[in-house]
């Protein structure tokens, strides 16, 4: 018999209505800026406003800037923000989890509140030019010196690297042959001498990520997160929360896309086209499935524990929904010169990245096959 955790019922209706009241007076819905930097500044300012009002980091402890609530409240907040048409929150909250789980009290006090409120921007320095899916082969090295470490290497595809103040950097402190056992994690200010950040432009023109070069960067002993050799465990904590974001608001945003598309098509002659109707129907079904999965994930997480390999199901499903929905939008909205097509094209392009970031879809399937279904690993 599986152990069942009973979740105490809470007054979530009161919580929901408190958010709605706050949003009515504090949210001004404006058109999404085309320029990426403008979008970034707006998102950051919004996050700071939410944080000042106590709506950020709901499930983090109060002493580190959180609200001491749970994932259920987080899911409700996410839903209400999406319903109200609020800008998305910065997708960086998962970087607080390794600090909370593995940091010393001094590290948590120094960094968590500022990370969660977007006063300081953090980025994730894991991937390298030759270490993405095979992260355990990373080559950035941290060498012990008196009072600290010297870090040298190159990080790649670092989201928000151009705006970031701090990076969570994985570096090798052991031998290459030790693979994941020889990796440690460091908290690195990006203002230190020896650091160069170069933006990389995405297919849709956004400068969302960067290359980060570290040339003999000196950090103190207090930059080490956790123990020497604990970097892999720290990376898995981080990635687990990144993949299993349990974002109920995401589903509402996508349902909104489908409605928007249906409304736009209803003004054209294509509305009676059976092909168009069938494709729209498929999109609606996908979004509904995603909603159910989000609810299931909220239930699982509310029972306690960090996200494990099952977070790969959430990641795969979100990727499938996003890519199929936007491909459908492009396909049924008309020719390449159609204004409807142009409108969806930017989102479509960004959606292509969903099957790569946070670990590619093939890697998620490998995780599900080996760790959830117990299938054997393939031999090289």
List residues near ligand FAD by CB under 6 A: 123-124, 126-127, 132-133, 157-159, 209, 353, 356-357, 359-360, 362-363, 366
Which of the residues 208, 242, 279, 322 is marked catalytic?
Answer: 242
Closest separation in Å from C-beta 268 to ligand FAD: 33
119 is catalytic: no
Closest separation in Å from C-beta 221 to ligand FAD: 24
Alpha carbon 11 to its chain's center: 28
Conformation bin of residue 359: beta by default, left when phi > 0, alpha when psi is -120 to 50: left
| Beta strands 141-145; 224-225: pairing state | unpaired
Residue number, 77 or 167, with CB nearest to ligand FAD: 167
Closest separation in Å from C-beta 36 to ligand FAD: 13
Residue number, 333 or 364, with CB nearest to ligand FAD: 364
Closest separation in Å from C-beta 79 to ligand FAD: 25
Residue number, 72 or 235, with CB nearest to ligand FAD: 235
**What is the number of other CB atoms lying within 10 angstroms of the CB of residue 166?**
19
Residue number, 27 or 356, with CB nearest to ligand FAD: 356
Which parts of the chain are beta strand (E)? 122-125, 141-145, 148-159, 166-172, 183-189, 195-200, 209-220, 224-225
Closest separation in Å from C-beta 20 to ligand FAD: 33
> Which residue's Cβ lies closest to ligand FAD?
132
What does the block give as tokens for 37? 């930097």
What does the block give as tokens for 243? 């993949």
170 strand-pairing partners: 185
Match 């129907």 to its residue by tokens. Answer: 281
Residue number, 187 or 353, with CB nearest to ligand FAD: 353
Residues with a known catalytic role: 242
């Amino acid at each position: 018999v599986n152990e069942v955790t009973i979740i105490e019922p809470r007054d979530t209706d009161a919580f929901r209505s408190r958010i709605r009241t706050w949003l009515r007076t504090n949210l001004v819905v404006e058109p999404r800026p085309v320029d990426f930097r403008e979008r970034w500044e707006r998102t950051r300012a919004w996050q700071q406003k939410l944080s000042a009002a106590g709506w950020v980091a709901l499930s983090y402890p109060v002493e580190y800037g959180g609200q001491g609530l749970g994932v259920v409240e987080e899911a409700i907040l996410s839903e209400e923000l999406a319903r109200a048409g609020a800008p998305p929150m910065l997708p960086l909250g998962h970087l607080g989890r390794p600090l909370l789980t593995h940091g010393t009290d001094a590290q948590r006090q120094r960094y968590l509140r500022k990370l969660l409120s977007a006063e300081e921007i953090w980025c994730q320095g894991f991937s390298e030019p030759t270490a993405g899916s095979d992260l355990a082969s990373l080559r950035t090295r941290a060498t012990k010196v008196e009072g600290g470490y010297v870090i040298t290497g190159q990080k790649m595809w670092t989201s928000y690297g151009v705006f970031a103040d701090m990076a969570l950097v994985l570096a090798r402190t052991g031998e290459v042959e030790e693979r994941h056992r020889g990796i440690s994690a460091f908290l690195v200010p990006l203002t230190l001498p020896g650091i160069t950040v170069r933006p990389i432009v995405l297919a849709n023109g956004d400068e969302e990520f960067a290359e980060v070069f570290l040339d003999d960067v000196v950090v103190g002993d207090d930059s080490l997160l956790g123990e020497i050799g604990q970097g892999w465990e720290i990376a898995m904590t981080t990635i687990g929360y990144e993949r299993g974001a349990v974002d109920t608001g995401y589903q509402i945003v996508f349902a909104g896309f489908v409605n928007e598309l249906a409304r736009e098509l209803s003004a054209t002659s294509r509305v009676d086209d059976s092909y168009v109707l069938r494709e729209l129907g498929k999109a609606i079904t996908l979004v509904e499935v995603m909603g159910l999965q989000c609810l299931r994930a909220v239930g699982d997480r509310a029972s306690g524990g960090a996200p494990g390999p099952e977070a790969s199901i959430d990641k795969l499903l979100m990727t499938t929904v996003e890519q199929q929905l936007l491909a459908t939008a492009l396909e049924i909205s008309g020719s390449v010169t159609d204004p409807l097509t142009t409108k969806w094209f930017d989102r479509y392009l960004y959606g292509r990245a969903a099957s790569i970031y946070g670990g590619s879809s093939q890697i998620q399937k490998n995780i599900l096959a080996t760790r959830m279904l117990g299938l054997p690993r393939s031999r090289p």
